[in-house]
Structure 1
Amino acid sequence: MATNTSAVQDPGSARRRKIQRLLRSVFGVTRLRAGQQEVIDSVLAGRDTLAIMPTGSGKSLCYQLPAALLPGATLVVSPLISLMQDQLEKLQQLGITAVQLNSSLTRAEEDEAIARIAEGGKLIIFCTPERLASPAFLSLLGAAPPSLVVIDEAHCISQWGHDFRPAFLEIAAALRALGRPPVLALTATATEEVIADIDTQLEARKLHIINTGIYRANLRYRVIQVTNAGEQQDAVLRLLRETAGVGIVYAATVKAVEALTARLQALGESVSCYHGKLAARERKHNQDLFMGGERRIMVATNAFGMGIDKPDTRFVIHLQVPANLEAYYQESGRAGRDGLPADCTLLYFQEDKRVQQFFLAKHYPTDGELAAIVAAAQELPATFTIDALASSLPEYSSSHLKVCLKLLKDGKLLRQDRKLGYSLKAPLAASPTYAQLAHIYVGKQERDRQALEQMVAYAQSGFCRWKLLLEYFGDADDFERCCTCDNCQSPPALAAPISLDEIPQAPAVAPAPAGLPTPQLTVGSRVRVPRYQTGTVLSVAGDQVTIAFPENTTRTFMAEFVAPA
């Protein structure tokens, strides 16, 4: 009997035809971008998937299209209410049923959303990680578990990530309570450490990682060195007057945001500000002014962060150095989402490193705190909630308690049941000591310190800015130079020294006389540089040479300033 080959192959081809119809008729897209097809195929195959795709590459479509094909609901866990509100409005414009559950809703709006979720069927549900941790919400979802759970801004899951949110630590328990549906995690940035931690925290099943890279050719990076705070503000004013279009100025502290905003307002600039100490209503009003085009400039702390999607942003200026390159890439990447050229400028004042060092001295769990939490838990019912524990320990914030509880759970002193209640395990004596558990965060502190040093090295470097970013994220491959950053456009005579403790100002170095050929330099050869002693070549990368000098000093120069000894 003949086999009907077309019938055997039909399900796959039928799905592809349906995807093409959906792209055109619903999303108004003629074809998928790089990486999108692979992510969508992975999701529809039911695989746990991590998609690392640059800002503006269409990550949202990677769950929106499968949501239209999967039988049940798609749950999207998002860290920001403004982000889910923006996504919700876009979906509603496309005629796709979607609801949100978060603290911004009125009681009537929340009741309406809950009623729609209870009906079941195809829809997209947006919630915060805090809402997902609610037993009542899990019970509501449990009646018809979602076909897919999406974790947006997935780097927030990782305790090694720059935007870590303790509420994300409870997602794995929530997934178990929902029968462990397939997961799609989305982020624009993730180092190898963060990827491994996302895998662990999600308790993923053979996590399929799709990384399309972080490079965005339309972003032009540069660093301007300044020597004092006054020069810093003057540089911002000059940049704002020289640069057309709308943009964001990031500052590290509320004080710096308010000072710059006041000065710009006094000068008649169209400016608004955003930081965590403003009332929620004022933050929303200021954000709406900027997003709606009524203000040209937004001065903000990193509280004005994930989910800010204003495609025509032409510039992002950092008044002060961020804590690490992940944060810098995320924040600067809010420029140029329309694909047109945009400028990303960092003003580097060496003293600003101390601001970030102050923030890095944050309060990590100690063995004494872990012991106090266990002691308090022993006075509570056998199964207790985090709210009950917080009532017993009012001196601890909810976020801090969540981190401590995660440590105790990892140390097998604590368990979490299907409804996200906690209970102590017995016997406690067989578990690791509190000191052993708390020691985990010694590594976290050291990692944060190193990340700040790498950020400072970027600011001081004479190498291609994009190459430095790509190397940091393990994405450089054969990339040599972007040809658009400040160091590519005007190569410095001297790149920064590699030592990061006290970075001196680079002395002036006289270039080789015009017309002389650049010497052929090889690793291990002895060379000399004006104003420096004779040294040994450690590496040659294009026209940049790294040389070791006596007393363990290592510096990088343009080849034209280096001569054989």
Structure 2
Amino acid sequence: MRLPIYGPRLRRVARTQFGWPRLRPGQFKPMRAVLRRRDALVVLPTGAGKSAIYQIPAVLLPGPTVVISPLLALQQDQIAALNERGDPRIRAVRVSSAETPKERREAVEAIRRGEAEFLFITPEQLSDPDRLAEVRSLGPGLVAVDEAHCISAWGHDFRPDYLALGDMIEQLGRPPVLALTATASPPVREDIITRLHLRRPEIHVSGLDRRNLFLEVAYCPDDAYRWRRLTTMLDEEQRPGIIYVATRRAAEELAERLTTSGYPATFYHGGMAAGVREQRHTDFSDDKVDIMVATSAFGMGIDKPNIRWVAHVALPGSPDSYFQEIGRAGRDGEPARALLLWRSEDEAIQRFFQGGSPDPGELRDLAGALHKGPIGKTALQKATGLGPRKLGQYLNLLEQVGAVQTVAGHKLSVPARAPLPAAAAEAASSAYERQQAVVRSRTDMMRGFAQSRQCRTETLLAYFGEDLRKPCGHCDNCADGIAHEIAAAEPEGPFPVHSRVHHDEWGAGMVMNYEEDRMTVLFDSVGYKTLSVPVVVQQRLLVSE
């Protein structure tokens, strides 16, 4: 077999332009896809070198690289790392709300003159039609979408302008697209592909088994027991670390209780003023805060290698968010710990956060406003009275049912043969209910992970569509010997893992894993379901597709 020509070129650029002596596992294949001008979706854990996957090939491709990233702090870290080498071939500039109009103009001109290669920009900036046209005129050769899970309806972050990225990229001249994320289960991956309009993308998922990260779960019958387990860990472990809680109030109260008890802690949540959030983010990054108590709003964009532990004192809403959050520990490769302390009551909180159904009347009125002709989002807000977040959610649902499209000038209009407003509202409500079925099933899977006696890493990776094949050796179930006993006793299931099956009521699905006499299937329409293997076999509930 002839070796591809891409390897030596990529390694030479890595060494000479970036000072990296070698490529990391999981980087080469998606880099090769980029050089072949193929769309690609890459799932690599935090700290595995996702940025290099677009940075190194960009040097070899014609045209500048546009990097769409949601957080200014994350952008700034990446820009600083590129510019510190003083090489114009990898210089980066930024267009964001943090720059003055003059600085934004100078950034674009630097790209146009060939004095910079990377243009970092937020989705909100690209949503401006004039800015979009300006970026298009630069002739970008590659678009990299960082934190791509933010675009997903199933994701754990929501940015309305992310939902329009697929259309924005089309209007940039449709260069190849590279989507990058640290966590994406199969439904999230499919959502990213659909919403970014990726064309026959290569999908690369690797490195999800963090061998230096010890996974531990404890059921807590009451809050007193949970407090004792938490403080015991704080006494045993080095710092810094992050404690994740479910609500803003819980963040404030736990931080105060810890501080009063001799464990100085600071809290962080999305309800704080932007300046305060930024300062606390910086203080934690600079080792001025040892214990951060936070909601899920904290963590994205933290490039901090020495986090020694991540604790959850409530059941996360999904394995997606859990994996993203524990991935912030031990990025330096040194031993780190992930401790989940959960109670049955935690599930009720997550159900509450999943919220109520969209208002059919508001959906109908929005669909009706769209029928009056091409209209911008600002005018739609005035016509309907909807806030930007709800408007984004509703447009997302209407887009799924073919009731809205983006046209020239960044306006929204109704496609030919679109459903009438009442029918569009009904179809959009049904689409929402299907989504919620999957969201609820993800919470079920998180509880299943917490209760599992199987290898924790096996269970977690199975959720993401990966097969570890043997117990990991770095979780509590492996340390106790339970995981090895179960693995040795497990019979072969009736269907291969990752095979497609069909259920009369729930339709098509994929077998994700087996544990003892149970199997988990991810159904396209209703999400994750855990079934009894004997019942499946006896009643022939599933058939191979």
Question: What is the TM-score of this pair, normalised by structure 2?
Answer: 0.84
Structure 2 residue corresponding to 1:423, chosen from 404, 408, 413: 413
2:444 corresponds in structure 1 to: 453
Instruction: Report the equivalent of 2:404.
Output: 414
Q: CA RMSD in A?
A: 3.1
**How big is the shift at 1:553?**
12
Alpha-carbon contact 2:367-2:424 (below 8 Å) kept: no
CA contact (8 A) 1:153 1:186 kept: yes
CA 1:212 to 1:522, structure 2 compared with 1: closer, same or farther past 3 Å?
Answer: closer
Cα distance between partner residues in 1 of 2:175 and 2:531:
54
Counterpart of 1:89?
80
Q: Give me the identity figure in percent.
A: 38
Structure 2: distance between partners of 1:369 and 1:303 = 28
Alignment of 1:477-516 (within 5 A): 477-478=468-469, 480-491=470-481
**Mean Cα deviation higher: 163-172 or 325-334:** 163-172
1:529 aligned residue: none
Q: What is the match of residue 434 of structure 1?
A: 425
Number of residues paired by the alignment? 498
**Alpha-carbon distance in structure 2 between the residues aligned to 1:139 and 1:327:** 35
Is 1:376 the counterpart of 2:366? The answer is no
Output the CA distance in 2 between the equivalents of 1:308 and 1:491: 35
Equivalent residue number for residue 176 of structure 2? 182
Cα offset, 1:425, TM superposition: 4.2
Contact 1:414–1:425 (8 Å) recurs in 2: yes
What SS class does the counterpart of residue 308 from structure 2 fall into?
strand
Letter in 2 for 1:329: F
Matches within 5 A, 1:166-565: 166-360=160-354, 362-378=355-371, 382-394=373-385, 396-425=386-415, 433-478=424-469, 480-491=470-481, 545-546=516-517
Partner Cα distance (1:312, 1:141) in 2 = 37
Contact 1:264 1:271 in 2 (8 A): yes
* Aligned-partner Cα distance in 1 for 2:171–2:367: 24
Name the CA distance, whole Å, in 2 between partners of 1:521 and 1:452.
25
SS of match in other structure, 1:343: strand
Question: 1 CA distance for matches of 2:489 and 2:97?
Answer: 65
Q: CA deviation at 1:65?
A: 0.7
1:512 alignment counterpart: none
1:331-388: per-residue Cα shift (whole Å, max 9, x none)?
011001111111000011111111111101x244343222111333456xx3221011
CA–CA distance in 2 between the matches of 1:429 and 1:331? 41
Corresponding letter in the other structure for 1:291? S
The question of whether the paired residues in 1 share the 8 Å contact of 2:403 and 2:424 is answered with no
Which ranges of structure 2 fall in alignment gaps of 5 or more residues?
494-512, 520-529, 534-545
Displacement of 1:433 in angstroms is 3.7
Higher-Rg structure is 1
**Gap change, CA 1:19 and 1:315, over 3 Å in 2:** same
Residue deviations 1:137-176 (CA, integer Å, cap 9, x gap)? 1111121221100011112222122334332211111111
Q: Secondary structure at the match of 1:313?
A: coil
Q: Distance in 1 between matches of 2:479 and 2:154?
A: 34
Give me the whole-angstrom Cα distance separating, in 1, the residues matched to 2:478 and 2:10. Answer: 42
Q: Show structure 1 runs of 5+ residues with no match.
A: 1-8, 497-518, 525-540, 556-565
In the alignment, the residues of structure 2 paired with residue 50 and residue 429 of structure 1 have an alpha-carbon distance, to the nearest angstrom, of 32
Q: What is the CA distance between 1:233 and its match in structure 2?
A: 2.9
Task: State the SS of the aligned residue for 2:167.
Answer: helix
Cα distance in 2 for partners of 1:410, 1:321 equals 31
Question: Structure 1 residues 274 and 111 mapped into 2: Cα distance closer, same or farther (>3 Å)?
Answer: farther
Query: SS at the partner of 1:299?
Result: strand
SS at match of 2:18: coil
- For residue 144 of structure 2, the aligned residue among 109, 129, 150 is 150
Q: 1:23 aligns with which of 7, 14, 17?
A: 14
Question: Is 1:33 matched with 2:24?
Answer: yes
What is the aligned partner in structure 1 of residue 64 from structure 2? 73
- Greater Cα offset, 282-291 or 187-196: 187-196
Distance 1:375 1:457, change over 3 A: same
